[in-house]
Amino acid sequence: MNRFIPMSVEQIRRNSIKRIEEEQNRQKTYDNLQEKNNKNQNYYDLHTILKSNAHKEVQENYFNPKLLEQEFEDFLTFHQLYSLKDYINDHIKDKTNGTVVSPYIIRKEIKYLDEILKKFKVQHNIK
């Protein structure tokens, strides 16, 4: 004896439509995930980073030797340490062990000295 209940044509059609819709939803979800992954991969793409305007701006502003020299001289002038310029430069070069001095190291050293001098001026009421 046949245990399966025969399905009507309408039931078969509804089930087919439901399966097709589910498959389409799965495909849309998969496509969305792929698109998100592609967008995230572009963030790590070195060629895209090098072409970006933000990278060019950082190169022009942060690594500009003239701008860095101007910041360093402004710092020395503000704290009236211009006579110690060579001594501070030698100290920075000693910290790098003779390797190329990067703008990051110079700015870090300026920030460090600036904090020390501010605290010193506050402690001794110097304006």
Domain identity same for 32 and 71:
no
Total residues belonging to the chain: 127
Compute the distance between CA of residue 36 and CA of residue 43 in angstroms, rounded to an integer.
11
32 and 76 housed in the same domain: no
Give yes or no for a contact between 108 and 122, defined as CB atoms under 8 angstroms apart.
no
Domain assignment of residue 17, yes or no: yes
Q: What is the pLDDT along the chain (127 residues), one digit of tens a residue?
A: 456 666 788 888 888 999 999 999 999 999 988 888 777 665 666 777 777 788 788 778 888 888 888 999 999 998 888 888 889 888 888 888 877 888 888 899 999 999 999 998 889 888 7
Whether the Cβ atoms of residue 88 and residue 81 lie closer than 8 Å to each other: yes
Cβ pair 120, 112 in contact under 8 A: no
71 and 113 share a domain? yes
Domain that holds residue 92: 64-123
Res 42: pLDDT: 59
pLDDT of residue 97: 81
Q: What is the helix (H) or strand (E) element at residue 56, kind and residue range?
A: helix 53-61
Residue 52 DSSP class: S
Number of domains in the chain: 2
Residue 31 lies in a domain: yes
